[in-house]
Amino acid sequence: MAYITVFVALLIFLSEFVQSYDFIDNNRSAAGSNYVKLNLNLTVGVGAPNGQTREMIFVNGTFPGPNLIFDEGDEVEITVFNQMPKNTTIHWHGLEMKNTPWSDGVPGLTQTPIEPGERFVYQFTASTAGTYWYHSHSRMTMIDGLYGSIFARYDVLLALATEKAIFEYSDALADNDLTRPSSQAPAPWHLISNETEDIKAMQRAAADPHLILISDWSRFTSEQYWETIKDTELEIFCVDSILLNGHGEIYCPPTGFLVNQTLPVMQSLMGNATVNDKGCLPFVPAVESIWLPLGHPERIPKHLQEGCVTSSGGVNLTINVDSREQKWINLNWIMASTFKMVQPSVDEHDMWIYEVDGSYVVPRKFQALSLSAGQRISAMVRLDKQPGDYTIRVPETGITQVMSAFGTLRYNNGNPSRSSRPHVQYGSLPAHGNVDIYSPWIPFTDNMPPFPAHDPLPQLADEEFLLSLGRVNSSWSYTMVGREMMPVDWDAYHPFLFYPNDPDSFNEQLVIQNSQRVLDNPNWRYTWLTSFGEPMWMVLRYQVTNPGPWLFHCHFEIHLAGGMGMVILDGVDKWPPVPEEYRTHLDPSRPRGPPLAKNIRTFSWLEALRNKRTGFD
């Protein structure tokens, strides 16, 4: 397979690249598989997840959408019913969609939009175990609440989730054989602790993690937010709350407190200015660039950029644990934000990071960790403290706003009268001198190599490309190739996957072409986050193992809507043929996707030991 090097010259402030799918083929396989069928019903209604009422999207009547639990290797069929008054699609973030690119959920690239009153059937294999999530990929509607968590369980971990299995395989556990989720991915528990009881406890925790989906939340809908950006000619990043699994509140500390909590790097961008009563960064040249004088802040609706109003009725997340039964728990952090970076921590507890973006890494111990849009980080936490309540703190750390979310880790029914000692402050600064923070901007902490180590890569790549990121005519309009920007819904009804030679579906300016060779010294990364404040560059490298058209883009919604995205055509000589049942969805008189009558279910040898069924959690 060909190796590709992409050289990205980043010329603007706060451009955040987060890959929306795995480039890496871990070659995992399951001992057996199920055929899992689920329905997702999308509706619009009124809700108040932070105590503030607004119109929002519900998935099967819930927000966030239900957790989707699969087993490694499961064949999955999900029918999405769109009962909203707007087009939509759903993208399965991080799942590789190998041999099924038509289920990747990108309108205009792999499918047509799911129109109001219609349905679409997604079929794919949960081929790689790990933590993932799903979300809207149509305009900016993710801001309205269309997202949820996905966990694909390691097949062997399912067997180890019961005491019976652990007893029967204790010898194998001691030899570290059954810590392998598949033949290619041994688990790194022994690098956290070499005690057999700890390894058993971590196995149990890994099989049944606490999924914590983090999102940012505004009282304004996606349409209102986007229209304000276009009307004011300003990039706006201000929100009202950070939510944990859809729970949260609006906090309005005194402005003086927010000023004192401002990160030094954030203050350096503002000069003599300060954050406002919502903790939001003022409009400065470092963000708006040369277009700042053309902006119209007076057109911003009240309460969007400033005017903090506390809410009533919001409830924070509580995670209940019993340290008498559990020695370790697994916290799987999923960053479903549209604008923000955050820095989760649990008072008085360490977190051992062992999985990043669905793949094992060599574990390292931290007290806090940074997450940007689209990222997932899994961490083991030892339950070795006194019974009580320990605050979960999730401050914003992306230098656009001073704000925080809170939750509770409750031991053995808790002790609310006891105050726990924090690792980080409201504005994300360390609260004491012994805080190690995982951050992609700190090379030492970001040095978390894959586990097990991958084979050395060839010194030279087969192809190399240069991308130059910049802005076009305004602070919010972007280009990744130095050329024109296409509208948000460009030719959504001529998916490129279906019509690769159709001029209506192809724009060569938005596709990585083999025309420029820049570097011959590529490096290895999983997910990428740029620096800020000055021009910079990075080199990304991957191996083409998954033929299809894929969207390479920033995961900040306003950046993607503004044009910060382009198409990568991988393995064009080996694209899988599009099934006829997917082609028929272009006929509006026929249902979209394959027929619903298919109902197959097989069982692996581990079925009798499973402590959970696949499907909705």
The pLDDT score that the predictor gives to residue 60 is 97
| Count, residues in the chain | 617
pLDDT band at 344 (very low <50, low <70, confident <90, very high): very high
Q: Residue ranges of the domains in the chain?
A: 208-445
Residues 101-115: pLDDT tens digits?
888 878 777 788 889
Q: Are 190 and 363 in contact (CB under 8 A)?
A: no
64 cis-preceded (ω within 30 degrees of 0) = yes
Residue 576: DSSP 8-state: P
Burial-class residue 499 by CB neighbours within 10 Å (0-12, 13-18, 19+): middle
User: Is the full-model pTM beyond 0.75?
Assistant: yes
CA gap 319, 406 in Å, rounded: 12
Of the candidates 537, 525, 543, the one whose C-alpha atom is nearest the C-alpha of residue 463 is 543
Q: What is the pLDDT of residue 338?
A: 83
Kindly report the CATH number that applies to the domain delimited by 208-445.
Answer: 2.60.40.420
Portion of the chain with pLDDT greater than 70, in percent: 65
The token pair at 279 is: 């903790």
More confident residue, 101 or 18: 101
CB of 250 closer than 8 Å to CB of 240? yes
What span, in angstroms and rounded, lies between the C-alpha atoms of 52 and 516? 51
Angle at 459 between CA 457 and CA 464, to 5 degrees: 100
Looking at residue 351, its pLDDT comes to 97
Distances 285 to 116, 235, 289, 397, 561 between C-alpha atoms, Å: 41, 11, 5, 20, 21
Taking the C-alpha atoms of residue 390 and residue 370, their distance in angstroms, rounded to an integer, is 20
- DSSP code at position 504: T
pLDDT of 392 over the 90 cut: yes
Can you give the pLDDT at residue 200? Answer: 94
Question: What is the C-alpha separation between 405 and 95, in angstroms, rounded?
Answer: 28
Q: Which of 41, 139, 142, 140 is nearest to 82 (CA)?
A: 41
Model pLDDT for residues 179-189, shown as the tens digit of each residue: 334 434 678 99
Q: Which residues contact 20 (CB under 8 A, 6 or more apart)?
A: 91, 93, 94, 374, 550, 551, 552, 553, 555
Burial 64-80 (b: 16+ CB within 10 A, else e): bbbbbbbbbbbbbbbbb
Instruction: From residue 416, give the alpha-carbon distance in Å to each of 55, 204, 408, 510, 550.
Output: 34, 28, 10, 55, 49
Instruction: Looking at mean pLDDT, say which of 18-22, 143-147, 161-165 comes out highest.
Output: 143-147
- Residue 182: helix, strand or coil by DSSP? strand
pLDDT greater than 50 at residue 489:
no
Give every CB contact of residue 507 below 8 A, 6+ residues apart in sequence: 486, 490
- Asked if the model's pLDDT at residue 87 lies above 50, the reply is yes
**In contact, 234 and 304? CB cutoff 8 Å:** no
* pLDDT, tens digit, 9 for 90 and up, residues 427-440: 999 999 889 988 76
Backbone angles phi, psi at 249, to 5 degrees: -140, 170
Given a cut of 70, whether residue 513 has pLDDT beyond it is: no
Could you give the 3-state DSSP secondary structure of residue 134? Answer: strand
Indicate whether 589 pLDDT > 90: no
**Ranges 151-160, 207-216, 256-265, 452-461: which has the least confidence:** 151-160
What is the distance between the alpha carbons of residues 539 and 522, in angstroms, rounded to a whole number?
6
The pLDDT score that the predictor gives to residue 222 is 87
How far is CA 180 from each of CA 155, 160, 360, 450, 467, rounded to the nearest angstrom?
9, 11, 11, 15, 39
Can you give the pLDDT at residue 533?
Answer: 54
Count Cβ atoms within 10 A of the Cβ of residue 449 and give its class: 0-12 exposed, 13-18 middle, 19 or more buried: exposed
**Backbone φ/ψ region at 267: left (φ over 0), alpha (ψ -120 to 50), beta:** alpha
Round to whole Å and give the CA distance between 372 and 333: 11
Cα distance between residue 374 and residue 338, in whole Å: 9
> For the chain, what is the mean pLDDT?
75
Q: How far is Cα 357 from Cα 338, in angstroms, rounded to an integer?
A: 17
